[in-house]
Amino acid sequence: MSGWSARSQRYEIFVVSVREFLTTHGAEPASGLPARLATALLSAVHGVIALQLGTPTMRLPDVRGTGRLVIASLVDAWAIKLAAARQSKTWPRVTLAAFA
């Protein structure tokens, strides 16, 4: 397996997880939406890690706790956005606009 293919498969688990989150909440995500939200999640977590690594002289809280807080906050926000989308005429179909 090439390096690109292995990285692509590792990324795909995040996309599948986001898609499952959306469908568990009753949504039918538009094409590309799970990948966009997965990328947002990975970007946020990357920022948590990069902050720790890029500012070694700052006394920051534990990165694991901060990471959990960031992930929980995003997932909670998505759940709130899905609850609002349930009131729309297009439900259960959701697009990126529901998360903007």
Residue-wise pLDDT for 51-76, tens only, equals: 989 998 988 889 999 999 999 999 99
Q: How far is CA 11 from the centre of its chain?
A: 12
Distance CA 89, CA 71 (A): 29
Are the beta carbons of 28 and 94 closer than 8 angstroms?
Answer: yes
Q: Which residue has the higher pLDDT, 7 or 88?
A: 88
- pLDDT of res. 1: 53
User: Which residue type occupies 30?
Assistant: A
What's the total number of domains in the chain?
1
Residues 41/74, Cβ–Cβ less than 8 Å: yes
- Provide the 3-class DSSP secondary structure of residue 24: helix
Mean pLDDT of the chain: 93
Q: Can you give the residue range of the structural domain that contains 94?
A: 3-99
Q: Where are the alpha helices (DSSP H) in 1-100?
A: 3-24, 33-54, 63-85
What would the two tokens of residue 17 be?
């997880």
Q: What percent of the chain has pLDDT over 70?
A: 94
Which 3 state secondary structure label does DSSP give 29?
Answer: strand
The model's pTM:
0.87
